[in-house]
Structure 1
Amino acid sequence: MTKRLFTLLFALLFTNAVMAQFSLKGIVKDAKTNTPMQGVTVSVVGKAIGTTTSSGGEYVLKLSKGTTQVRYSFVGYGSVTKSITISASDVTEDVSLEPSTDQLAEVIVVGSRASQRTATDTPLPIDILSAQELKTTGQTSFDKALQYRVPSFNTVSTPVNDATSLLDPYEIRNMGPSRTLILINGKRKNTSALMYIQTSPGRGESGADIAAIPQQAIKRVEILRDGASAQYGSDAIAGVMNIILKDKFEYGSATLSVGTTHKGDGNSLSFAVNNGASFGEKGYVNYTIEFNRTTLANRPGMVSAEAEADANLGFDAPLATVKSFLAQKPDAGNINGQPENTAAKFLINSGIPLTEKSQLYFNAAYVYKKVNSFANYRTPYWRTTDDGLLTPAGQTYMGYVPTFQGDLNDYNATVGVKSDNNGWSTDLSFTTGGNKQLYTVSNTRNRSLGKNSPIYFKPGGYEFTHNVGNIDVSKQLSDKLSFAFGSEFRMEQFTVYAGDTSSYVGSGADSFPGTTPNNAGTFSRFNFGGYIDLGYDITKDFLINGTLRQERYSDFGDATVYKLSSRYKFNDDKITLRGSFSTGFRAPLLHQIYQQQAQASFVPGQGIQTKGIVNNVSPQAFALGVPKLTPEKSTNFTVGLGYKPNKNLSVTLDYYNIVVKDRIVLGSEIAGTASGNTALDQILVKNGIVAVSFFSNALNTVTSGLDYVVSLRNIELGSGKLAVNLAGNYTFENKYTSITNTKLIADAGKSVFDRTQDALLFQSRPKYKTILGLDYTVKGININLNNTLFGTTHFHQNGLDANTDTEFVPAVLTDLAISLPLSKDITFNFNVNNILNVMPKWDFIDLKTGVRTRYDANNNVPSQKYFDQYNLITFNGRYSNVTYDGSQFSQLGTTFQASLNVKF
């Protein structure tokens, strides 16, 4: 027995000796300044073991006996790998890192298919945003973070929620969401199933759901501000956004964030984990899991009793009845602002070496999002009864507020193989993706069914999917000539789901009528494209690049486009001239070709009316003489100047001019004429439609402007360093040059494009936007102060006087971000956005005199003219902050967010 115990004790001691770990510690310093470096990554090569240095440059790693390869790396510095031998005691190893301009000049993936270049070598204007830059905005979603970092990027939450609350429209250079191509690791991201049809920015278009991408998974973002149809195909008229995912794994992290608004609503809670593993020198897997939830933020205005009771402005109801109701609900029970939102996101990115010269890679993402919002409150003088369906027994009928629930599933995945053999780089990949949205409305009724109506409806939904195959081949033929070619096959499918019978029969569900079976269906198409790309460095300073692309679509035929670009550097590379000219195209979305529906929307002076959208292959469109959609065609010219006299100062100016022919628009609502005896009147009456809209290649447009970026870094200030960044966009021209109407509509004195649509398409985004950022770092603490100037925004809301517009006046929003390291592994971040609680403010503009009038709903002696106009465009005050069509920035006021990041 004693012998067994001795043997066991010896075995335990031997095991402990073998498994014993010792400390590898030391200090990492800047080789030039000899100062300690905080945040340096210290990792064991090939293993998920690592740490980062403290504010004093110190690090500690626990290692077992033996020889271990340890890498020291930091952005902007050359990495160092050391062979460390642990014998029987702790080891101290101090390291110095050399600054490296090569590390700072990060390779750009987007822009040229022939060869990857650095930001200073590219002949095209490209923005590069790091994950840290996005994080300092304090915004809860990726698209809103871009709003406060990229001057030409704009997105605003729509004031009217329902389906649009699932995805806010965004755009670059005022070109609409469908003209910016979204890539993930260089591969096409699927479009959303939702098409915007409300009178708000982005009307008639759709874009990829970039808000679904978890910020913790992003390594950097590259935004090509130039037409790129020749390189990437359709949807790239305004530019390309390439989202680069985190790859090589160095350490795991968990982030907990909480936030609220100054009114104590709109509370947000988010938890994200980023983790993974590295294997070998090149193998990695990196994944992110994120959960977030945002509660309701309600921003309704005070409703005017006089307007509600008026026959022209409201509901022709007894004033005493209206006042009695508004005494209890001054906002008429309306709920609008920011809807309740819950999301779960998962993303994985991996690379697996197959041989020394080839790699298998894949990435995949899945997002589930649920949104709960509200339609306009149905007051008891608007809907005078609910047939006893929505009022509890024994209680007085007080109207009802229909609810809207949207369920979104979005996924994308890519698998591919990259290889390099004899100088030839080959990339073979397959990408799939989809976006599905199903809707539910409740606490409402179908009035045509009376007491037999349900109060819960499934009105249908939409789904978009695509499958994409890519082959890309490139070679550096000589030190001056690069060559690339490739092809893409894409299959797209768009599905419209019918609602349950009670949601569409008769007048349909109040607030959101369902889709009828005859408007439902599945529609698909495929296309095949190929390109050739050549780049030639005439000298080390002078570069030219050319691309030619041919596309074949199954539903409309061929498209051929090209691009030429050049760059010239002189004065020891301190000054760069660059420019490009390209032709482009945008294929009509399947949504735009096939979607047909009845839509309930607010009509000034008439309340909520049901109107129709007919698609381009319907009998109604044929009767109206609407031609089938064809691709948009564009020309894009850019010229720019870059100035970099030293490593700390850089200035770029880029002018752009984009001309689009046969631009696709969802036209204005075509209603009957006053005489009621035209051919148009007969068709509308026959189809039982109050007003009809449809898509057509109705416009030729021109857009021009200037982007500028000034960056000054490493300014000595006290014991810290200050960086100043100034970036802006100014639109010189954004307008249509001609309108094409069908003969039937022109003969009736109507037009598919009225002033309301004109304002939405060309003036609903800021004419200019400037971002001034101050970034100060001292003793590991980072303070970021951003000031964003939003320029004027114009609307001509439906119902406005012909000689009146509304203009949102310029405003500056100030945001503060503080990052405080609590230890080498724990960082606390605090953000206050819109510190001064600036809200959108708008004026009426008399187009004849130029006089601006700020209407105050509480004014004791209001102008009767503006009293009427104010109520028409705010639904009698319900949308007083932003009007029914929107504004140039969010209306929630000051918001606060705190987060804790833990590395492990």
Structure 2
Amino acid sequence: MKKIALLLFLFNTVIIFAQQQVSGVVKDNTGTPLPGVNIVEKGTTNGVSTDIDGSYKITVKEGASLIFTYVGYNSVTRLANASQIDVALSEEGGQNLDEVVVTGSRTAARSNTTTALPIDVLSSKDLTSTGQATFDKALQYKIPSFNTVQTPVNDATSLLDPYEIRNMGPSRTLILINGKRKNLSSLLYVQTSPGRGETGADISAIPTDAIERVEILRDGASAQYGSDAIAGVMNIILKKNATDGSVTVRSGITSEGDGEMLGVSLNQGTTVGEKGFLNYTIDFSKVNLANRPGNVDAAGEAADFGATLANVQSFLARHPDAKNINGSPETAAAKFLINGGNDISDNTKLYYNAAYVYKKVKSFANFRTPYWRPLSDDPYLNDFFGNGDDANPSYDGYGPTFEGDLTDYNGTLGFKNVKNGWNTDASVTVGGNKQVYSVNNSVNRSTDITTTSIDPVTGLPVETPVYRENSPISFKPGGTSFNHVVGNIDVSKIVSDQISIGFGTEFRSEYFTVMEGDKASWEGTGADSFAGNRPENSGKWNRYNVGVYLDVAFDITKDFLINGTVRHEEYSDFGGATVWKASTRYKFLDDKITLRGSVSTGFRAPTLHQIYTQKSQYSFVAGQGIQISGIINNVSPQARQLGIPSLDPEKSTNVTVGIGAKPFRNFNITVDYYNIKVEDRIVLGDRQDTDFGNVAWFSNSFDSRTSGLDIVAGYNNIGIGEGKLGFNVSGNITLENERISPVTNNSFGDILEALTFTSRPDTKWILGINYEIGKFGFSLNNTYFGKTQFAQDGLQNLEKTYLDYNPANYDANGAPITGSIAEGRGNIDGHPDLRTEFIPKIVTDLGINFSATERLTIAANINNLFNVMPEWKFVKGSETGNNILNGSEAVTNSPSNLITFNQRYSRMTYDGFHFSQLGTMFNLSLNYKF
């Protein structure tokens, strides 16, 4: 045995000394690194592939030759006669690679002009050039099919603004960080706001300075990435520079002198040992409140709250906005992020990233005016909230706050291994989001919660209210949290010059928690403005799922590509689903023209939030004031008694057809048509009167179809004087966005119909102009927001409602006159007589960069340069509405008092305002590179 061991040792020693290690970087002829290049030792099966940086390492025999191959590029052979061999590949046909993308296929990466799918690539510079404070708002002014907006007085929605791609809601876009799934938020949007009934990831939590680029796949991708990818995928690629960094100081203010912003961000890279790197970002920011209330109509107030017109007019004379506070909330945020990696061996690499974000947000509920909460009903309110002056009663109403503490974290640890050309990626990802709420300056007004004591004098029992004058004024209504653990194994290989394959599996475990509020926040009517989570509605739920996929790409010729993917997933709570995708691309005229298309099926599992959320909430109903209603979940005993079925997954069919052209080096254009059909769409329906009160619930209610065009064009590096000029134009045109089947298992009225299908722009265009000369860089960005339309409760049966608000129907004390229509109010039903239509507008942003030194850059941005504000007009919704518009119908008041809670939200609301709520904003930043 000793002799055999000695012989083996000598043999291995000879082999080792007869081999050599070669490393290097593979780029295209523009200097862009190429990931996924196949490198094979000639005459053997020994091979590796380049990583995301285009780097490779391989051990070969002395005197060997290396063959470098990449789909769509000319192959190159090099003699392995040095330890460092860098290679530049040229595209077949002589075209240059625009940008390498890794999103959209589980096989080899390609360029965004030769992919079979439409993909947007935004660099870090693209994002920061917008001057926007957060990542989601930067996307709003860079991606036409992306929309987001701040919503006022919507409770927890103020912590996390809803976003969507192609008007599909936040639940149908999958967010990845370095290719790994980011956790959902714990927030379920339940108010009348975009994304109602859905949830999404908190992309605003990601610090912009940590981002290298963003790849947005505008196509269904459930087959490649799993549930949530019906509308597309957003892959956020983090910075990985290890030798330099920068610090940025940002400040800003609105033209009205509020909304002050101050932030500082540090991004720095460093080496770890000899073969590792670490890039980290620390970001702190504070944004003050920007208040944009509207002027309230007195007659509308009197009708809504059953108050005397004289009292309302007296209050509004002092406070025309009814002391309402709505706009951009006060927000403080601290964000920490790291991204790193280390070469463990020649063929194995460790990688990791992690982020932690803390946000504190303070917003306000609608102000409780003294005619809404009169002292005649609650005299103790004067002791709690007496805040008048000498000329007015000490009690002048009160304004409850809604405050939230949000934490969001995610982290990934993984290993990549390359052996014989097989690329293996194994990782574990964890993530979570937690929101805890507080309500201050409020009260529990419950009258039916009492305690009994014995009067020491009379000996008789005495009923004492637990709340009202004994109520606290600060409450902890509880909160929510969501966590997941995800395991991934992905394997890929470029088998030959024609075939690439990829396959893998994913395991995901999810946890959703509803945290109980303190007793005073939910008992009786609970805290005025936001009732807490009751014990019976609180708890923790979880599920898991396992998925497997196979992806094959086949280059039939150097110009003709087909790609197919199939995926199967099994969920612990609703079973399995199998989906597939087929895509193709054909290049001709020396790669100057590319035709592409895809057909796919998809699915979206109902989130745990949608399955288990059950709560009471306050909301405003025009003409009826504030109402308390609830949500019952589909697995509750109440749902069974009402015959509400359990939720099933949504199913989708996506079709995309497009053309890309690059007739010469600096010009490119792509046009893509998409058609998305969603079956069994999950929605949160209208409130309905049942045996359990006025409640709403989720259901698979109907099928919908969304179709449109995406257009992207760019023309850069145009010589003008001593500088260079560049243009980019992109647009999204919605051709169809509507319900295509009857509503089942629910009620889905005009308001929700408009909120879902017409309250986002029907078209959106972005024209960007950039000019760089010397130390200066100028950018002019023009964003066209198309028409939107909305419907409100108060605009239904408008003729009757008009008369309701007519002061002539009330006596001197504000009581309805016997026999008047005002006396018989409350029968508002049917379709809106009028709708609000928001007029298309163009918002212009100006940016100026000055490179003061090689290290210091000063950037000034004026967002909404011309102070363009949303404008709306009435359009007919019925014959009565048409008669009102043409003047043949007698009316008394302006119907504007019937929208957006009686004009309280004249500039900040959910009903179609999708830009510029704060007017012109000035931003200044200083960036210093180390």
* Partner residue of 1:237 out of 197, 221, 230: 230
Q: CA separation in 1, counterparts of 2:784 and 2:301? A: 36
Correspondence 1:810-889 to 2 at 5 A: 810-848=840-878, 865=891, 867=893, 869-883=895-909, 885-889=911-915
Q: Is the 8 A contact 1:460 1:500 kept in 2?
A: yes
Q: CA separation in 1, counterparts of 2:399 and 2:764? A: 37
Residue correspondences, number = 780
Q: Is the 8 A contact 2:151 2:909 kept in 1?
A: no
Q: CA separation in 2, counterparts of 1:99 and 1:568? A: 19
Q: Deviations over 1:465-511 (max 9, x none)?
A: 00000000011111101111100000000000111000011111000
Q: CA separation in 2, counterparts of 1:231 and 1:866? A: 59
Q: Is the 8 A contact 1:873 1:884 kept in 2?
A: no
For the residue of structure 2 that corresponds to 1:591, the secondary structure is helix
Q: Is the 8 A contact 1:353 1:360 kept in 2?
A: yes
For the residue of structure 1 that corresponds to 2:748, the secondary structure is coil
Question: What does residue 394 of structure 2 align with?
Answer: 396
Post-superposition offset of 1:773:
0.4
Q: Deviations over 1:616-653 (max 9, x none)?
A: 00111111111000000000000000010111110100
* Partner residue of 1:269 out of 241, 247, 262: 262
Post-superposition offset of 1:281:
7.7
Q: CA separation in 1, counterparts of 2:874 and 2:516? A: 42
**Residue 154 (1) aligns with residue 150 (2):** no
Cα distance 1:852–1:355, how it changes in 2: closer, same or farther (>3 A)? farther
Deviates more, 1:317-326 or 1:332-341: 317-326
| Aligned amino acid, residue 424 of structure 1 | W
For the residue of structure 2 that corresponds to 1:124, the secondary structure is coil
| Aligned amino acid, residue 618 of structure 2 | A
* Partner residue of 2:767 out of 766, 772, 781: 772
| Aligned amino acid, residue 516 of structure 2 | A
| Aligned amino acid, residue 790 of structure 1 | F
Post-superposition offset of 1:657:
0.3
Question: What does residue 499 of structure 2 align with?
Answer: 481
Q: CA separation in 1, counterparts of 2:928 and 2:208? A: 16
Structure 1: where are the runs of 5+ without partners?
A: 1-31, 38-96, 672-683, 743-750, 856-860
Q: CA separation in 2, counterparts of 1:162 and 1:264? A: 25
Question: What does residue 626 of structure 1 align with?
Answer: 644
| Aligned amino acid, residue 165 of structure 1 | S
Q: Is the 8 A contact 2:99 2:121 kept in 1?
A: no
Q: CA RMSD in A?
A: 2.3
Q: CA separation in 2, counterparts of 1:541 and 1:865? A: 67
* Partner residue of 1:204 out of 178, 183, 197: 197
Q: Is the 8 A contact 1:389 1:455 kept in 2?
A: no
Structure 2: where are the runs of 5+ without partners?
A: 1-28, 32-87, 447-466, 797-831
Q: Is the 8 A contact 1:373 1:403 kept in 2?
A: yes
Question: What does residue 194 of structure 1 align with?
Answer: 187
**Residue 797 (1) aligns with residue 792 (2):** yes
**Residue 613 (1) aligns with residue 631 (2):** yes
* Partner residue of 1:441 out of 433, 439, 442: 439
Correspondence 1:401-440 to 2 at 5 A: 401-440=399-438
Post-superposition offset of 1:565:
0.3
**Residue 125 (1) aligns with residue 143 (2):** no
**Residue 518 (1) aligns with residue 536 (2):** yes
Q: Is the 8 A contact 1:440 1:457 kept in 2?
A: yes
Q: CA separation in 2, counterparts of 1:132 and 1:292? A: 20
Q: CA separation in 1, counterparts of 2:276 and 2:157? A: 41
Q: CA separation in 2, counterparts of 1:572 and 1:154? A: 37
Cα distance 1:854–1:106, how it changes in 2: closer, same or farther (>3 A)? farther
Question: What does residue 660 of structure 1 align with?
Answer: 678
Q: CA separation in 2, counterparts of 1:497 and 1:739? A: 37
For the residue of structure 2 that corresponds to 1:898, the secondary structure is strand
Q: Is the 8 A contact 2:96 2:665 kept in 1?
A: no
Q: Is the 8 A contact 2:292 2:908 kept in 1?
A: no
Deviates more, 1:392-401 or 1:612-621: 392-401
* Partner residue of 1:330 out of 316, 320, 324: 320
**Residue 719 (1) aligns with residue 756 (2):** no
Post-superposition offset of 1:766:
0.3
**Residue 377 (1) aligns with residue 367 (2):** yes
Post-superposition offset of 1:275:
0.6
For the residue of structure 2 that corresponds to 1:175, the secondary structure is coil
* Partner residue of 1:787 out of 782, 785, 802: 782
Q: Is the 8 A contact 2:700 2:744 kept in 1?
A: no
Correspondence 1:31-180 to 2 at 5 A: 105-180=98-173
Q: CA separation in 1, counterparts of 2:850 and 2:888? A: 51
For the residue of structure 1 that corresponds to 2:893, the secondary structure is helix
| Aligned amino acid, residue 321 of structure 2 | D
Post-superposition offset of 1:848:
4.7
Q: Is the 8 A contact 2:240 2:269 kept in 1?
A: no
For the residue of structure 1 that corresponds to 2:469, the secondary structure is helix
Post-superposition offset of 1:121:
2.3
Correspondence 1:678-757 to 2 at 5 A: 684-685=690-691, 687=692, 689=693, 691-742=694-745, 752-757=747-752
Q: Is the 8 A contact 2:184 2:200 kept in 1?
A: yes
**Residue 893 (1) aligns with residue 894 (2):** no
Q: Is the 8 A contact 1:158 1:886 kept in 2?
A: no
Post-superposition offset of 1:567:
0.2
Q: Deviations over 1:760-813 (max 9, x none)?
A: 111111000000000000013110000000001111122322232111110000
Q: Is the 8 A contact 1:843 1:852 kept in 2?
A: no
Task: State TM-score, norm by structure 2.
Answer: 0.82
Post-superposition offset of 1:864:
7.0
Q: Is the 8 A contact 2:501 2:553 kept in 1?
A: yes
Post-superposition offset of 1:607:
1.2
For the residue of structure 2 that corresponds to 1:875, the secondary structure is helix
Post-superposition offset of 1:323:
1.8
Correspondence 1:13-24 to 2 at 5 A: none
Question: What does residue 239 of structure 2 align with?
Answer: 246
| Aligned amino acid, residue 916 of structure 2 | S
| Aligned amino acid, residue 210 of structure 1 | I
Percent identical across equivalent pairs? 59
Post-superposition offset of 1:249:
2.1
Post-superposition offset of 1:119:
1.6
Post-superposition offset of 1:248:
2.6
Q: Is the 8 A contact 1:483 1:533 kept in 2?
A: yes
| Aligned amino acid, residue 208 of structure 2 | Q
Cα distance 1:587–1:717, how it changes in 2: closer, same or farther (>3 A)? same
Cα distance 1:825–1:863, how it changes in 2: closer, same or farther (>3 A)? farther
| Aligned amino acid, residue 196 of structure 1 | Y
Q: Deviations over 1:565-617 (max 9, x none)?
A: 00000000000000000000000000000000001011111211100100000
Q: Deviations over 1:47-94 (max 9, x none)?
A: xxxxxxxxxxxxxxxxxxxxxxxxxxxxxxxxxxxxxxxxxxxxxxxx
Deviates more, 1:381-390 or 1:435-444: 381-390
Post-superposition offset of 1:160:
2.4
Cα distance 1:98–1:702, how it changes in 2: closer, same or farther (>3 A)? closer
Cα distance 1:180–1:267, how it changes in 2: closer, same or farther (>3 A)? same
Q: Deviations over 1:208-259 (max 9, x none)?
A: 0000000000000000000000000000000000000001323110000000
For the residue of structure 2 that corresponds to 1:620, the secondary structure is helix
Q: Deviations over 1:294-346 (max 9, x none)?
A: 00000001111222123xxx212122221221122111100001100000000
For the residue of structure 2 that corresponds to 1:738, the secondary structure is coil
Question: What does residue 587 of structure 1 align with?
Answer: 605
Post-superposition offset of 1:266:
0.5
Q: Is the 8 A contact 2:293 2:908 kept in 1?
A: no
